């Protein structure tokens, strides 16, 4: 058995091969039938003719997405969709479909309800392949840089990012939450491993419908002892550069298939520009925006900024009020914290949130008090500042958002096989 991709070259001309897959398109003109067959690797034109005798009717009457195996001789044919053709001499039908419900004219809702079938489209197949590269490249990058992969729990008793977006569930007799981030648990592990990363789902009850929020998303997080905010950004820009270069190396065909402008990805080379929040607020006037110091940047603001950038942009030094309690204040700029967001170009906006963590006990307790958080619930997080505390920094990257940008999609829903949003929990 050969993969379709492997036979699409001149070495196979004149050879007899067997492939298996699904009917991608079929067109019959009486005594001759053209069947485009797809497998996970590519598509190829196959031709059946009445030389198959009585069995010809079986194959010429197949419908889209029926599964089959064909054997035949390969020839070169410039008119065929991928340049070669297989003349079918034998075949086996696994399943004959009556019809396949997915067609081009179907509504978004219909396609979402039938996501389990829509995943077979060539576009989605390519997105899934790119996503697979992104996940592997993320992990490889950190393994190559001396990080250990770790796992935190998904069911937790405390909020990381704030209460509004927590999913609550029953855990025996208690109320617990689905985790919003593994950060705090990663912080506990730097005391044994120093540098750690994780790839895990995070859950956020995002009630507003946006093109970049999922209720369940894949969160790639890293945490490293001894690193400061700038050091962490140095790591992150190399990581993004590496992931993009891996996608360019491994998925060129897929990027073309989804019409991604490859030249834009080729520009994604470290270092990335860095700007302080307050300078960005001033600069945004050049973009015709009317932001003032203290305004939070949401999807719309980030879009309007990032359509002006070709590379990702680090925004640092947000005002303390805009971020969660654990961020380290900047001693040189009162009221600002040593944090960063990484905004993706072409209008995509935030893909990473990160920064340096408060590591001194009194400072943390003060910030928690200000935020109104009960110390008891966070005793273990506080303990980290009691026993051999060290400066450390970390980040969280939304992998679905990264795929969304790399694939240049319109909606994050299409970057993940089974999106969970405020209105969707099936299939
Ligand atoms: P946003 O401002 O878009 O709501 P956030 O600042 O709340 O994002 P963080 O808490 O910084 O997000 O989480 C780290 C990263 O996780 C984000 O930079 C983003 O890439 C990703 N992320 C956060 N929330 C979601 C979500 N609902 N769906 C998909 N990815 C998300
Ligand atoms: Mg948010
Ligand atoms: Mg944000
Ligand atoms: Mg953030």
Q: What pLDDT, on a 0 to 100 scale, did the predictor assign at position 137?
A: 99
- Total-model pTM: 0.97
Please report whether residue 427 resides in a domain.
no
Please report whether residue 424 resides in a domain.
no
Q: What pLDDT, on a 0 to 100 scale, did the predictor assign at position 344?
A: 98
Residues 169 and 214 in one domain: yes
Kindly state the average pLDDT of the residues 406-413.
97
For residue 104, pLDDT beyond 90: no
Residues 227 and 255 in one domain: yes
Residues 76 and 23 in one domain: yes
Determine if ligand 1 sits within 6 Å of the CB of residue 312: no
Residues 256 and 335 in one domain: yes
Determine if ligand 1 sits within 6 Å of the CB of residue 413: no
Q: What pLDDT, on a 0 to 100 scale, did the predictor assign at position 310?
A: 96
For the CA of 296, the nearest atom of ligand 1: 2
Please tell me whether residue 168 adopts helix, strand or coil conformation. Answer: strand
Residues 130 and 85 in one domain: no
Place of tokens 């995943």: 119
Distance CA 166, CA 104 (A): 37
Note if the bond before 345 is cis, omega within 30 degrees: no
Nearest CA to ligand 1 atom 8: 350
Distance CA 117, CA 65 (A): 10
Q: What pLDDT, on a 0 to 100 scale, did the predictor assign at position 158?
A: 82
In angstroms, what is the span from residue 312 Cα to ligand 4's centroid? 15
Q: What pLDDT, on a 0 to 100 scale, did the predictor assign at position 164?
A: 80
Please report whether residue 193 resides in a domain.
yes
Please report whether residue 420 resides in a domain.
no
Ligand lying nearest the CA atom of residue 342: 1
Residues 176-228 have pLDDT tens digits of 999 999 999 999 999 999 999 999 999 999 988 899 999 999 999 999 999 99
In angstroms, what is the span from residue 274 Cα to ligand 2's centroid? 22
Distance CA 154, CA 400 (A): 18
Kindly state the average pLDDT of the residues 228-235.
98
Q: What pLDDT, on a 0 to 100 scale, did the predictor assign at position 236?
A: 98
Q: What pLDDT, on a 0 to 100 scale, did the predictor assign at position 218?
A: 98
Residues 291 and 378 in one domain: yes
Q: What pLDDT, on a 0 to 100 scale, did the predictor assign at position 159?
A: 73
Single out the residue of 315, 313, 289, 318 nearest to residue 301, CA to CA.
289
Domain boundary among 66, 95, 124: 95
For the CA of 215, the nearest atom of ligand 1: 27
Please report whether residue 426 resides in a domain.
no
Distance CA 249, CA 262 (A): 11
For residue 103, pLDDT beyond 90: no
Nearest CA to ligand 1 atom 11: 353
In angstroms, what is the span from residue 353 Cα to ligand 4's centroid? 4
Average pLDDT of the chain, as a whole number: 96
Q: What pLDDT, on a 0 to 100 scale, did the predictor assign at position 197?
A: 99
Indicate the top mutation candidate among 167, 219, 299, 422 to test ligand 1's pocket, ranked by most ligand atoms within 8 A of CB: 219
Q: What pLDDT, on a 0 to 100 scale, did the predictor assign at position 219?
A: 98
Residues 86 and 121 in one domain: no
Please report whether residue 101 resides in a domain.
no
Please report whether residue 105 resides in a domain.
no
In angstroms, what is the span from residue 337 Cα to ligand 2's centroid? 18
In angstroms, what is the span from residue 83 Cα to ligand 4's centroid? 47
Residues 13 and 145 in one domain: no
Residues 266 and 408 in one domain: yes
Distance CA 379, CA 368 (A): 12
Determine if ligand 1 sits within 6 Å of the CB of residue 206: yes
For the CA of 180, the nearest atom of ligand 1: 10
For residue 160, pLDDT beyond 80: no
The structural domain count of the chain equals 2
Domain residues for 15?
4-95
Residues 16 and 143 in one domain: no
Lowest mean pLDDT among 46-60, 163-177, 304-318: 163-177
Here the CATH number for the domain that contains residue 195 is 3.30.930.10
In angstroms, what is the span from residue 210 Cα to ligand 2's centroid? 11
């Amino acid at each position: 058995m050969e993969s379709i991709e492997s036979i699409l070259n001149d070495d196979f001309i004149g050879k007899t091969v067997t492939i298996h897959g699904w009917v991608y398109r079929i067109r019959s003109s009486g005594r001759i039938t053209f069947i485009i067959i797809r497998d996970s690797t590519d598509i190829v034109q196959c031709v059946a003719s009445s030389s198959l005798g009585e069995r010809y009717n079986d194959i010429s009457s197949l419908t889209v997405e029926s599964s089959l195996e064909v054997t035949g001789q390969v020839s070169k044919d410039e008119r065929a969709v991928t340049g070669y053709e297989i003349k079918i001499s034998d075949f086996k039908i696994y399943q004959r479909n009556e019809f396949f419900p997915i067609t081009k004219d179907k509504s978004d809702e219909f396609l979402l309800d039938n996501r389990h079938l829509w995943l077979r489209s060539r576009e989605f197949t390519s997105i899934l392949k790119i996503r697979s590269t992104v996940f592997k490249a993320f992990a490889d990058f950190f393994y190559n840089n001396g990080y250990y992969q770790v796992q935190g729990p998904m069911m937790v008793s405390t909020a990381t990012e704030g209460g509004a977006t927590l999913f609550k569930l029953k855990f025996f007799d208690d109320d617990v939450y689905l985790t919003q981030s593994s950060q705090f648990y990663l912080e506990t592990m730097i005391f044994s491993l120093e540098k750690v990363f994780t790839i895990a789902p995070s859950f956020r009850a995002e009630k507003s419908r946006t093109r970049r929020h999922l209720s369940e998303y894949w969160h790639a997080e890293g945490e490293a002892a001894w690193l400061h905010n700038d050091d962490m950004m140095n790591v992150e820009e190399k990581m993004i550069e590496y992931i993009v270069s891996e996608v360019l190396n491994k998925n060129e065909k897929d990027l073309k298939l989804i019409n991604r402008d490859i030249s834009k990805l080729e520009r994604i080379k470290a270092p990335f520009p860095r700007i302080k929040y307050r300078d960005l607020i001033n600069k945004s006037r050049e973009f015709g925006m009317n932001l003032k110091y203290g305004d939070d940047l949401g999807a719309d603001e980030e879009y309007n900024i990032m359509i002006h950038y070709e590379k990702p942009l680090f925004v640092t030094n947000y005002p303390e009020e805009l971020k969660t309690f654990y961020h380290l204040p900047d001693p040189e700029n009162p009221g600002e914290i040593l944090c960063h967001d990484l905004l993706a170009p072409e209008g995509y906006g935030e893909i990473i949130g990160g920064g340096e963590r408060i590591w001194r006990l009194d400072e943390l307790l003060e910030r928690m008090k200000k935020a109104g958080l009960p110390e008891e619930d966070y005793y273990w997080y506080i303990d980290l500042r009691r026993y051999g505390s060290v400066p450390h920094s970390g980040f969280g990257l939304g992998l679905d958002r990264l795929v969304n940008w790399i694939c240049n999609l319109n909606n994050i829903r299409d970057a993940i096989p089974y999106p969970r949003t405020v209105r969707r929990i099936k299939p």
